Amino acid sequence: MAGGRPWASPNRVAAWLVGIAVLAFLLYVPQYYEATTVNRYTTAIFIGIAAMGLNILTGYNGQVSIGHGAFFALGGYTSALLMRDAGWPFLATVPIAALVCFVVGALVGFPALRVKGLYLALVTLGLAVVFPDVARKFVNSTDGFFDHNGEPGTVQLSIREHLAPPFWHDWFADPIADRLRDWIGARDQWAYYCALFLGLLLLLGVWLISRSRFGRALIAVRDHEAAAATVGIDLARVKVAAFALSALYAGVAGSLAVMINRSASVTKQEVFQDSIFFLVAVVIGGTATVVGPMIGAFILVFVQEWLDESDWLSDLLDDQRARLASPALFGIALILAMYVLPDGLVGGSRRLLRRLKRRRPVSEAAVT
């Protein structure tokens, strides 16, 4: 135990209480909100998953990538193709997507051993630029399939066959199956609980990594490569592993996105935007923190929705211009956020907590 703090210190209890309350709320979301909102929560979760992965690479290991949208798309394709062409159920495709991205991530990670900093960022940008072309070329030509629109590089999924929740009556006795159908019978609910489950699992993964020998090695390599090598850390293995793991997270996120988008498709703009979105979520939430990226993702998704749908902008400008202006506000908000909270929301609230604690010994649970 770090520092040997007592298990039931007031801080610990407060953190647990907040955690349980948040979890309870998250479990309740799809029972309360309508499908659109639930889908938005699901979106926030899978963006958070990708951001958590990027955080392993960028936050803990200090390698900046602006190409993780490519892994995100790769995960989506893997899942979509397995569902469409091999008829697999969704959950079975997730581990495969994760594995594919892990392997590809490791392969991409090898050049990263020599290329550093900005140059690495550029190589990953190249990945984001090239991947859509590759997908457009090969997703069609390999299986000779064109969807209804004939749009190359798009894998369209059927809602009824691929995306609907399992038919619980095949699995359970009627009373249980009925309840299950009530709780997770709708498509949005099913997608949401899948995302929540995987999100929590992967969050646990980051937490374990952050406290492990491997996690400390990541940080050591980030802070001082030469010193890390001197104390016996295998630089190559740590860096490649960080890359592969972050790709795995992005791949799982991509799989989940298929459930919401009902297709896997890829354009350069999407891949680039996704890549940037993940990075922004990491920094807004807090680099090198366990929950930061997830919080950052939620903030991003909901702030953007608020900007897109708020009326005050339309009152100010005409309708079309208001729609165009919302990314401008988003960009400005981003810059302002960096002025106020350069260490992200989690880092910022930690500072706030520390300051409050210095004044009054009893901690404020509400601040987290």
Contact set with other proteins (CB under 8 A): 58, 64, 111, 114-119, 121-123, 125-127, 129-130, 133-134, 136-137, 226-227, 268-269, 276, 279-280, 283, 287, 317, 321, 324-335, 338-339, 342
Q: How far is the CB of 230 from other proteins (least distance, A)?
A: 8
Q: How far is the CB of 367 from other proteins (least distance, A)?
A: 23
Backbone angles phi, psi at 207, to 5 degrees: -60, -45
Q: How far is the CB of 272 from other proteins (least distance, A)?
A: 8
**Closest residue by Cα to residue 156 from 80, 94, 251, 257:** 80
Q: Which is nearer to other proteins, 89 or 126 (CB)?
A: 126
Asked if 268 and 87 touch (Cβ cutoff 8 Å), the reply is no
One-letter amino acid of 338: M
One-letter amino acid of 291: V
Q: How far is the CB of 167 from other proteins (least distance, A)?
A: 41
Residue-by-residue DSSP string for 5-65 = --TT-HHHHHHHHHHHHHHHHHHHHHHHS-HHHHHHHHHHHHHHHHHHHHIIIIIIT----
Q: Which is nearer to other proteins, 187 or 222 (CB)?
A: 222
Asked if 68 and 275 touch (Cβ cutoff 8 Å), the reply is yes
CA distance 104 to 124: 13
Q: How far is the CB of 287 from other proteins (least distance, A)?
A: 7
Q: How far is the CB of 218 from other proteins (least distance, A)?
A: 16
Q: Which is nearer to other proteins, 21 or 324 (CB)?
A: 324
Q: How far is the CB of 155 from other proteins (least distance, A)?
A: 17
Q: Which is nearer to other proteins, 52 or 279 (CB)?
A: 279
Q: Which is nearer to other proteins, 141 or 158 (CB)?
A: 141
CA distance 353 to 345: 12
| Strand extents, DSSP E, the chain | 155-156, 263-264
Q: How far is the CB of 336 from other proteins (least distance, A)?
A: 8
One-letter amino acid of 255: S
Q: How far is the CB of 103 from other proteins (least distance, A)?
A: 18
Q: Name the DSSP letter for residue 262.
A: S
Q: How far is the CB of 200 from other proteins (least distance, A)?
A: 27
Q: Which is nearer to other proteins, 96 or 283 (CB)?
A: 283
Q: Which is nearer to other proteins, 95 or 111 (CB)?
A: 111
- For tokens 């979106």, name the residue: 43
From residue 201, how far is each of 25, 55, 67, 303 by CA, in Å? Answer: 17, 16, 24, 26
CA distance 198 to 252: 8
Token representation of residue 20: 């349980």
Given its phi and psi angles, is residue 81 left (phi above 0), alpha (psi -120 to 50 degrees) or beta? Answer: alpha
**Closest residue by Cα to residue 35 from 256, 201, 185:** 185
Q: Which is nearer to other proteins, 104 or 280 (CB)?
A: 280
Q: Which is nearer to other proteins, 62 or 165 (CB)?
A: 62
Q: Which is nearer to other proteins, 178 or 225 (CB)?
A: 225
Asked if 79 and 94 touch (Cβ cutoff 8 Å), the reply is yes
- Cross-strand pairs, 263: 156
